[in-house]
Amino acid sequence: MDKKYKISLSISIDSEKIFYLKIYEELYKLFSIEKSKNKYSNIDFIFKNIKTNNIFYLELKERNIKYINYNSFFMGLTKLNNINKFYFNCLLVWKFDSKYFYIKFNEDLLKSNKLYIKSSYVYEIKKNILNNGSIDDLIEYIKVNF
């Protein structure tokens, strides 16, 4: 394994911890929140509403690109198909610096264009169908919708 891969992986894990701490700080009275224990899981976080016991999942994609330059984002074909099968009540989140784009999973996403990029198939998710804003906007969306 080359050093670039190791560095990238550690940054990703640290970023998820930072995200978790911010979300937990704002939502711990409403949800129990767990990080997925399986690093190969199709989701990153499991939320359980304390009052209703309803569960939802969150998949976080963090990117170090300028979102303003793109009209769409990508989600792995297998990942999105598995979310459809096993984690239907899922919030998909793309993070770019301090800007978040997010959407509650729905089957219409499976009708998105399929592309072959860097040796794998992905769904092309159009940016204009996504909610967007700060971490506080995302937290408010979770409070209202889950």
Query: Does residue 4 carry a pLDDT above 50?
Result: no
Whole-prediction pTM: 0.87
Lowest-pLDDT range, 15-19, 41-45, 106-110? 15-19
Look at residue 14 in the predicted model and tell me its pLDDT. 75
Structural domain boundaries enclosing 104: 3-145
Domain at 17, CATH number: 3.40.1350.10
Look at residue 98 in the predicted model and tell me its pLDDT. 87
Q: How many domains are there within the chain?
A: 1
Query: Does residue 23 carry a pLDDT above 90?
Result: yes
pLDDT, tens digit (0-9, with 9 covering 90-100), for 60-100: 998 887 777 789 999 999 999 999 999 989 999 999 988 99
Contacts of 20 (CB under 8 A, 6+ apart): 33, 35, 45
Identity of the amino acid at 131:
N
Look at residue 137 in the predicted model and tell me its pLDDT. 98
Q: Which residue has the tokens 């999105």?
A: 80
Token pair, residue 7, equals 């560095």
pLDDT, tens digit (0-9, with 9 covering 90-100), for 96-145: 988 999 999 999 999 999 999 999 999 999 999 999 999 999 999 999 99
